[in-house]
């Protein structure tokens, strides 16, 4: 749907799952994601930042930001990964598909990670 979840609901289609989570996701998506875009240079100026690379492992191995943590997108909610990410650090999301980076950022914000950015 052109208007995403809101368009789906306005068209009268049913949704499944937790309605509170759905409403929270809609609210997060009202944010201007352009404000979350950050350059590597500006990210380096942040205090306590962690680069988290969600790209394909082959791309990560071919080249990545120095010190970046590789996380398999399919395992991003695994307990070890979640324990590794510190909520007091700024998280810099790396993915080569902007829409995926936005979904990851929105999801982490819903999980109470306060400082989430997307690497330009």
Domain spans of the chain?
Answer: 1-30, 32-119
The pLDDT tens digits of the residues spanning 28-75 come to 555 567 788 999 999 989 989 999 999 999 999 999 999 999 988 877
Residues 6 or more apart from 19 whose CB is under 8 A from it? Answer: none
The full DSSP string for 67-106 is TPEE--GGGTTSHHHHHHS-TTSEEEEE-SSHHHHHHHHH
Rounded Cα gap, residues 102 and 110, in angstroms: 12
pTM, whole model, 2 decimals? 0.72
The pLDDT tens digits of the residues spanning 4-38 come to 556 667 777 776 666 666 566 556 555 567 788 99
Superfamily of 32-119 according to CATH: Rhodanese-like domain (3.40.250.10)
Angle between helices 98-110 and 19-29 (to 10 degrees): 120
């Amino acid at each position: 749907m052109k208007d995403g979840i809101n368009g789906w609901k306005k068209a009268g289609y049913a949704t499944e799952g937790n309605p509170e989570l759905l409403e929270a996701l809609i609210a997060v998506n009202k944010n201007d994601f352009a404000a979350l875009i950050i350059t590597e240079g500006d990210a380096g100026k942040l205090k306590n930042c962690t680069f988290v690379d969600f790209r394909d492992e082959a791309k990560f191995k071919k080249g990545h930001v120095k010190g970046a943590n590789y996380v398999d997108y399919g395992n991003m909610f695994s307990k070890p990964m979640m324990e590794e990410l510190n909520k007091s650090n700024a998280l810099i999301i790396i993915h080569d598909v902007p829409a995926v980076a936005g979904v990851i950022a929105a999801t982490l914000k819903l999980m109470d990670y306060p400082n989430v950015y997307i690497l330009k």
